[in-house]
Structure 1
Amino acid sequence: MFRENSKFRRIGGISRVLIKHGMGDTAGRLFRRNRDQTEEDADGTGLSGKIAFPDPRRIRLALEDLGPSFIKLGQLFSTRADIFPPEYIEEFRKLQDSVTPEPYETIRSIVEKDLGKTLEEIFDSFDTEPIAAASVAQVHSAVMKTGEDVAVKVVRPGIDRMIRQDIRLMYQLAKRIEKTFELGRVIGTVNLVKEFERTVFQELEMPIEAGNIQKFSEFFRLINEIHIPKVYWELTTKSVLVMEYIPGIKVDQVEEIAANGIDPKEVAMIGLRSLSRQLMEFGIFHADPHPGNTIVMLDGRVSLVDFGIMGYLDDETMHQVANLFLGYAEHDYDMIMEAILDAGLIHEDMDLKNFRIDLKDISEPFYGRSLLTISIKDVYDQVIRIVLKHQIRLPRNLLLLLKTMVQTEALGKILGSDASIFQVMRPYAKELLERRYDPERMLQMIGRDALKASEYLRSAPRLLHKLLSQLATGRHRIELSLAGFKQLDKQLETGVNRMVVGVIIAASIIAGSLVLNSKQTVMEFTVNFFGEQTITLTALLGVLGYTIATVLGFMLIVQIIRSRKL
């Protein structure tokens, strides 16, 4: 009962927000009782033809007012440029999840409850004011008893429960949106909520973020220009993450970076090399490299922080991305098309000729230009335009990759870099492709494939026995539909008929020859044809055989010539 009351209160709150932002008609459509909606749809035209999808700015403002869950949902929308029109993407990108921080006493109680000790027992000092506050968590600086500076990230209390409640409501809204708006059906709002549900709870699990930090620390342990903060695992729980505090300068503070004797262009190159390694060596990338998450340390190193949003690439996708980058770097459209085909983004049934033309049209204007003169955002917009035109659905990780490249390019421009992202990635892509044909790696792949094949062979008898058992008991039946047999039947019939005619022709010729060459005569009679002539019946039958063979042979030749299948 309490849950139902809470649900109705939330619906009422959403309705008020929609009305506040001029979407009262939308609220009425979404929350009207089903029977009322059915009456209006009785003519069969549906609602989609009677109401337009709301203005993108109004949607963005409404999402901001609806709170953390809906802000996070809108931020997910901003990465799905393959399904949302450009004007909506621009608005969704403006969504900010900075909110009023939780009181210090609330944060204190969470930390002490999770760690089982008082703050004074764990830390030498703990700042009461957060250094960052977002919709999911907030961060406080502290000093360990050992003197180490740390950052303490604490998940907001009750955020898990609130998001779960909102997701249940989102599913209901998504279903109604698909019924109400044509665009809702096209973009698949229910699937978007499912994707949101899969990803949002990972940001609430501090051990997951700690694990991501640990992975990056291992990957970059031999690379001096990148620093990854240390994780204090003994102080990390479901709701609390304690990690090394990184002092330094935000990457967009160019004057301050230069004032400390650090070359901003070199900082940009470090960022490009870091992204290249993430994509071409590690198969995992930091998917939110905005200025607040990229710190320039005073010794010139660059540190990444906030590992809540990550992208993952398996081996196959890494090679496809490498081929794509290498194809662009070497101006090789055959390699580019092959990489896109291998990735399953396009298929043979599409109009590949026109797709290639469109791909070349959007790519050629960018060749030979430096990063300063190329906007990756423009490239991104062109890519999305061709994606929408050819109705291609991009996987989420590739969309995250495009978004990450846009953000990295933006940081490069802020730092005054004139480097080409494709040229920087080129050697890493080549090395990745060369590693694929390393003998040791190939043996590993062969061994893995052999193991998989042996598993298939071992399970085949069991699966066959199961299938035959089900057939014997009548629980399943096999229906064979062999397409093309009617045409084959017709072709066989024609061929057999021609063969029979050929046999008759051959038999008539042989029979005629035998009769004409026979010494025996039957029924001689005289005819007055160019004088009196004596003709036997055997000779007449021989001539008749030759005549039949000639006529049939002529007809057969004409039929074969007309069929154009000599």
Structure 2
Amino acid sequence: MSVIIGTLTNVALLMYLSRRLLGVPVGWGRTLVVAALQNMVGWYAAEQVLGTLGVTADTPTLPVLLVVVVLGGCIIAFDLIVLTVLEAIIPTWSVPTLTSVVTGFPSAVRRLRRYVVIWWILLKNGLTAYIGPAPKRDLDSPRVARSLRKALTEAGVTFVKFGQMLSTRADLLPASYVRELSKLHSDVEAEPWKDVSPVLTEALPRPSDEVFKELDETPMAAASVAQIHGATLLDGTPVVVKLQRPQARRQVTADLDILRRLAVRLEKRTRWGRHLGVVALADGFADSLHEELDYTVEVGNMRSVAAASDLLVPTPYPELSSERVIVMQRIAGRPLSSAAEQLAALSDEQRAELADRLLSGVLRQIFVHGVFHADLHPGNVILTDDGDLALLDFGSVGRLDRPTRSALTMLLYAVERQDSIAATDALLDLMDRPSGLDDRELEREVGKLMLRFGDGFAPGGAGTMFAELLNVVVRFGFRVPPQLAGVFRTLGTLDGTLQLIDPDVDLIGIARDRGSELAQSLLGRDAIREQAEHQLATLMPMLSRLPRRLSRITEQLEDGTLSVNIRPLGDASDRSWIARVGSQLNLSLLGCALLFGGLFLLTRAAGPMLLPTVPLWPILGAALLFVAFILAARVLAGVFIADRE
């Protein structure tokens, strides 16, 4: 029993000293293994060394104690060397802890099953050859884009929505991918009422029969995340109820975890993954999808768009809505995607007026209010029974700040006036200026683009124009912000919706005319006066203090007492970095000094004898080498930890 207690005590002591002396968080598991192995070998090695030195029971205690301390130091130094090498080869953060392995085993099994399914989908669609370190060279082929669309569709709702998000990033993906991914849809069969009714029961503040006079258990429409049911309130008001599927959140959360793991692997192993920044894309997509799953956010989006638009928007009932349920006004009509007969019954003038109303309303959302519906495909625009237009599905709503709206307005105004210089300046205001930009060449490219699409006869319409504009800015090294890419995607999608209403609509021409009107309204005399008053009100506190400050400066100049204080290390992070570097440098210098001192003493055979066969100087030299090894291990471990941070 005493042997077991002694062994455990030695192991615990080695673990504690090793972690403390290294000064960095090394995993307990590897420290325990190294300390246990070293304890097993250390006893045998110590007995052999003491026997070789001639230590017996009659040897004085103090010299033996010094030798034992040096041997213990050598054992600890060896532990530190092993732990440092392990930390360099297999960092602690890359090895899961025992607790995480045990608690995460069920989810790991589920992920493994899902990985097998996803891998089979990729294999079946011929995509596995493009995710290795040496992918095939026909990555931009339309065939690969079609295969990717099919694979995302088979993989389920999360991957479908990820593909839909990628279809908005024409600045990152080739045109063939944008076209294919824009075709993605996630319509599925509705779930039985008995499965979705608990969601409604949990969300409502009181029983459903005290809220609804009638509730249709057969859904009006169904998608991968939610389904829509018709209902009537107790006062007779017709409404629709949007119910989130019971398993939607759990499925999306699990798939998002897998999607991010795949993104990390692709960014590490593939050149195209690093170029696209797939980890950042996956993180941004996860944030937006979590927001989309929270229906309280969608209710807020509906109210924001309603305030920013003269188009019809359903009125939500916030007191009856929750994170998984929305109760909203029912608008009688049909989506444009299935309203061909109703549109055909309208005159050409009525259809042109509807198209102009829709486009003008969206432009006002974007350029005046900065809150706009970002997914205006034909299924989200309703042709009402009285011949008006209404918007649906506010899970995807874009927002633009005032400077971005002003720059976009100036861009439209410059396009309307065929002014390539002003258009280039507007682009530079919208996006960060890339290094080495050739302004004159960019002006020429923008000018050619405006001339090409300015007459309204260029093939492809507005969708092609926006794609070409994105190609130009990407070719010149600009990084397109996601909110700006959302604007281009909205206008490009809107072009196809407008074509259903009026095939002869000229989106570019109307946008130019409306852009000119918006520019005049935003940059007219009243708008400039209002902006000037706002800026003056902002500057008033500073202007009121300016005379006093100027007086102090002139007085100090006259007296010769003016001084300037500079704090080059005012930032705490800068001070921390310098302190860390200085500490590493000091430890390195001290370790080198101790190393040379220890080597010098080890070579000294003469001097006082510690034991009959052991001189004192080599023992002291070994002690100095022990300290030098500790300092070296501490410096190296600190370097590895800093690199990971």
User: Which TM bucket (shorter chain)?
Assistant: 0.7 to 0.9
Matched-pair contact (CA < 8 Å) for 2:431–2:480? no
Counterpart position of 1:197: 286
After TM superposition, list the pairs within 5 Å mapping 1:400-415 onto structure 2: 400-415=486-501
Matched-pair contact (CA < 8 Å) for 2:228–2:240? yes
Counterpart position of 1:268: 355
Match of 1:6 among 110, 123, 126: 110
Matched-pair contact (CA < 8 Å) for 1:151–1:242? yes
Matched, 1:147 2:232: no
1: CA distance, partners of 2:135 / 2:202: 55
Q: In 2 relative to 1, CA 344–50 (structure 1 residues): closer, same or farther, beyond 3 Å?
A: closer
Counterpart position of 1:77: 166
Deviation at 1:453?
A: 10
Matched, 1:336 2:423: yes
Matched-pair contact (CA < 8 Å) for 2:419–2:447? no
1: CA distance, partners of 2:483 / 2:542: 27
Q: In 2 relative to 1, CA 471–196 (structure 1 residues): closer, same or farther, beyond 3 Å?
A: closer
Counterpart position of 2:134: 48
Counterpart position of 1:246: 331
Deviation at 1:152?
A: 0.7
Amino acid at match of 1:182: R
Q: In 2 relative to 1, CA 180–453 (structure 1 residues): closer, same or farther, beyond 3 Å?
A: farther
Match of 2:517 among 423, 427, 430: 427
Matched-pair contact (CA < 8 Å) for 1:51–1:181? no
Match of 1:443 among 527, 533, 538: 533
Match of 2:484 among 390, 398, 413: 398
Amino acid at match of 1:5: V
Higher relative contact order (CA 8 A, sep 6+): 2
Matched-pair contact (CA < 8 Å) for 1:53–1:181? no
Matched, 1:171 2:275: no
Listed as ranges, the gaps of 5+ residues in structure 1 are 30-46, 456-462, 480-566
2: CA distance, partners of 1:98 / 1:426: 40
Q: In 2 relative to 1, CA 247–358 (structure 1 residues): closer, same or farther, beyond 3 Å?
A: same
Amino acid at match of 2:249: D
Cα offsets for 1:70-114 (capped at 9, x unmatched): 111111110111111112112111111112222211221110111
RMSD of equivalent CA atoms: 3.1
Deviation at 1:384?
A: 2.7
2: CA distance, partners of 1:159 / 1:277: 34
Amino acid at match of 1:243: M
Counterpart position of 2:437: 350
Amino acid at match of 1:163: V
2: CA distance, partners of 1:368 / 1:84: 28
Matched, 1:122 2:226: no
Counterpart position of 2:448: 361
Matched-pair contact (CA < 8 Å) for 1:52–1:181? no
Please state whether the residue corresponding to 1:101 is helix, strand or coil: coil
Match of 1:305 among 379, 392, 412: 392
Matched-pair contact (CA < 8 Å) for 1:53–1:183? no
**TM-score normalised to structure 2 length:** 0.64
Q: In 2 relative to 1, CA 333–476 (structure 1 residues): closer, same or farther, beyond 3 Å?
A: same
Q: In 2 relative to 1, CA 291–454 (structure 1 residues): closer, same or farther, beyond 3 Å?
A: farther
Amino acid at match of 2:326: L
Please state whether the residue corresponding to 1:227 is helix, strand or coil: coil
1: CA distance, partners of 2:514 / 2:438: 33
Counterpart position of 1:158: 247
2: CA distance, partners of 1:50 / 1:472: 45
Counterpart position of 1:34: none
2: CA distance, partners of 1:319 / 1:468: 36
Matched-pair contact (CA < 8 Å) for 2:241–2:325? yes
Matched-pair contact (CA < 8 Å) for 1:63–1:74? yes
Q: In 2 relative to 1, CA 327–468 (structure 1 residues): closer, same or farther, beyond 3 Å?
A: closer
Q: In 2 relative to 1, CA 102–473 (structure 1 residues): closer, same or farther, beyond 3 Å?
A: closer
Q: In 2 relative to 1, CA 384–217 (structure 1 residues): closer, same or farther, beyond 3 Å?
A: closer
Matched-pair contact (CA < 8 Å) for 2:129–2:136? no
Amino acid at match of 2:233: M
Q: In 2 relative to 1, CA 465–346 (structure 1 residues): closer, same or farther, beyond 3 Å?
A: closer
Counterpart position of 2:149: 60
Amino acid at match of 2:471: R
Q: In 2 relative to 1, CA 69–433 (structure 1 residues): closer, same or farther, beyond 3 Å?
A: same
Deviation at 1:395?
A: 0.8
Deviation at 1:21?
A: 1.9
**TM-score normalised to structure 1 length:** 0.73
Q: In 2 relative to 1, CA 469–120 (structure 1 residues): closer, same or farther, beyond 3 Å?
A: closer
Matched-pair contact (CA < 8 Å) for 1:322–1:430? no
Matched, 1:323 2:413: no
1: CA distance, partners of 2:163 / 2:341: 33
Matched, 1:289 2:376: yes
Please state whether the residue corresponding to 2:229 is helix, strand or coil: strand
Counterpart position of 1:234: 319
Higher helix share: 2
Counterpart position of 1:527: none
1: CA distance, partners of 2:497 / 2:254: 37
Deviation at 1:368?
A: 2.9
Counterpart position of 2:179: 90
Listed as ranges, the gaps of 5+ residues in structure 2 are 1-104, 546-564, 582-645
2: CA distance, partners of 1:88 / 1:413: 22
Cα offsets for 1:356-395 (capped at 9, x unmatched): 222222221211327x976011102211321332222211
Amino acid at match of 1:16: W
Matched-pair contact (CA < 8 Å) for 1:114–1:237? yes
2: CA distance, partners of 1:178 / 1:392: 21
Please state whether the residue corresponding to 1:210 is helix, strand or coil: helix
Matched-pair contact (CA < 8 Å) for 2:314–2:392? yes
Counterpart position of 2:123: 19
Counterpart position of 2:59: none
- Detail structure 1 runs of 4+ shifted over 6 Å in the superposition: 49-52, 451-455, 463-466, 468-475
Matched-pair contact (CA < 8 Å) for 1:138–1:155? yes
Q: In 2 relative to 1, CA 475–85 (structure 1 residues): closer, same or farther, beyond 3 Å?
A: closer
Please state whether the residue corresponding to 2:524 is helix, strand or coil: helix
Instruction: Count matched residues.
Output: 449
Identical amino acids, percent of aligned pairs: 27
Matched-pair contact (CA < 8 Å) for 2:355–2:505? no
After TM superposition, list the pairs within 5 Å mapping 1:23-38 onto structure 2: 23-25=127-129, 29=132
2: CA distance, partners of 1:374 / 1:282: 29
